Amino acid sequence: MKSGQKVLPWILLPVILAYGLVVATGSAGWAPAQNLSSSPATSKAVQLAQDATLTLHAVWVDEGPGNEEILTRRRDPGTGEWTAIENLSQFDWSDSGAVLLFDQYGLGHLVWTRRYARALGAPDEGSDLMYRQWRDNAWQAEEVLDHNPSFTPGAYGLVLTPKSDHVLLFVVWNGGYRYAEFHDGAWSPLTAWDYSLGVNLARVLVDDQNHLHAAAYGPNSSWIGYDPYFYDAYYLFNDGSGWTASYNVSYTSSVASDLDMAFDKQGRLHFVWCDPDSPYSTESKRSAVWERVLANNTWSPYTAITRQVPNESIFDIGLRADVSNTLHLAWSAAILMDGEVTEAALYYSTGDGTGWFAPEEVHNSTRLSRNLDLLVGNEAVYLAWEEPSPLLDNRDIYFTCKACVQNPHGQIFLPLLGKGHP
């Protein structure tokens, strides 16, 4: 789950730039990994969503050549085959930061940031919030939800959340947010910027009382004081009267490179985050997926879900609940020796709310798998992530699934539909 605004500290980059060969092997009932992008440019920030026909949609950002585009493919639930790659943005400059959600009425909502500047050769200057809707088995024409006449240095953090009969959109930037609602077929105007929270919203859930629960990245409170190069994980609550003050869930025991939340069968909120245990962090005790549970307005103590492995760093996580509120957790881990990746893997586990079952190894490689997205569908579990290509100096989008229909023809690469690519 990669929503909200989060930037990996620059001091972590040297330890994640060394990679080896991809090993596309399936295990524990997981299908062999498929390369969905197969692009000469870097592909990143994949999002998965399933529509009312159980068709799976994957969207991601392609970095070139010369501009960023929003690309997509769809997976047939009956055959397991993927459609050709489609360009959803069709713009000469920068389109990135896409989020995708299907609501209870079967409408798909795709939102992203479009940026352009005269200094980059564009005829105008701006940062626009763009929108396309999936309706009647097709993508509708794009719309501009908001125009900012300034060129922002990065894409907005975006969070889509279904709530009763409407959809909430949170736009996040530099500790502030604004929001809009999709209701009766149209988006409301975005609210004014609100910087009172002081954190970056990353995930928002709705409980059975229609209250909002948010996970966010915020200032790092290490034991020596404020550390600007890392984030802590924060929690906020909104019962309709406004947001509570942000609560530092990770506090001084760890930092958060990724975070997520889900409700279990008993209605308890499970808040998870991961710490890569950077040597530059003053408060990291060990690399782990950490968990705290909120029940009856009380937080449980810190618990490490993952076992400790020497020299292992855990970078990304995804947590989802299925229709029965069984919990599903995925994470990426790598063994780092002298700053180089010697072994990397994706793992998966399930939980009943009181504990976690033994993890499964989903995919192994000697290249670091990053920015994963986990989706639990009606009939299967889906996982997508980005990983460096074994042949090119780029990153591609990979996909696997558990208990799913597999393409009998194996891995097929289809031509791109749209401009800007060979």
* Three-state secondary structure readout of 265-303: CCCCEEEEEEECCCCCCCCCCCCEEEEEEEECCEECCCE
pLDDT tens for the chain, 422 residues long, are: 445 544 333 333 333 322 222 333 445 689 999 999 988 889 999 999 999 999 999 999 999 777 899 999 999 999 999 999 999 998 889 999 999 999 999 999 999 999 999 998 899 999 999 999 999 999 999 999 999 999 999 999 999 999 988 999 999 999 999 999 999 999 999 999 999 999 999 999 999 999 999 999 998 876 565 566 789 999 999 999 999 999 999 987 788 999 999 999 999 999 999 998 877 777 777 889 999 999 999 999 999 999 888 888 898 999 999 999 999 999 999 987 777 788 899 999 999 999 999 999 999 988 888 899 999 987 799 999 999 877 667 899 999 999 887 665 443 333 233 322 22
- Tell me if 116 is assigned to some domain: no
Looking at residue 328, the DSSP 8-state letter turns out to be E
Cα 56 to Cα 34, 196, 301, distances in angstroms = 14, 38, 37
pLDDT at 28: 60
- Tell me if 379 is assigned to some domain: yes
pLDDT at 366: 82
pTM of the model: 0.88
User: How far is 341 from 363, CA to CA, in rounded Å?
Assistant: 15
CATH code at 353? 2.120.10
- Tell me if 256 is assigned to some domain: yes
- Tell me if 102 is assigned to some domain: no
Per-residue burial over 198-213, b = 16 or more CB atoms within 10 Å of its CB, e = otherwise: ebbbbbbbbeeeeebb
Range of the domain at 212: 19-86+192-402
Retrieve residue 326's tokens. 């069984």
Q: Are 164 and 207 in contact (CB under 8 A)?
A: no
pLDDT at 407: 60
Give pLDDT tens digits for 204-251. Answer: 999 999 999 999 999 887 656 556 678 999 999 999 999 999 999 998
Domain count, the chain: 1
pLDDT at 416: 31
pLDDT at 245: 96
- Tell me if 240 is assigned to some domain: yes
Sort 249 into a burial class: Cβ within 10 Å, 0-12 / 13-18 / 19+.
buried
- Tell me if 122 is assigned to some domain: no
Cα 223 to Cα 232, 289, 414, 418, distances in angstroms = 12, 20, 52, 51
The set of residues, in sequence order, having a beta carbon less than 8 Å from that of 187 and lying 6+ positions away, is 131, 145, 169, 180, 181
- Tell me if 52 is assigned to some domain: yes
- Tell me if 118 is assigned to some domain: no
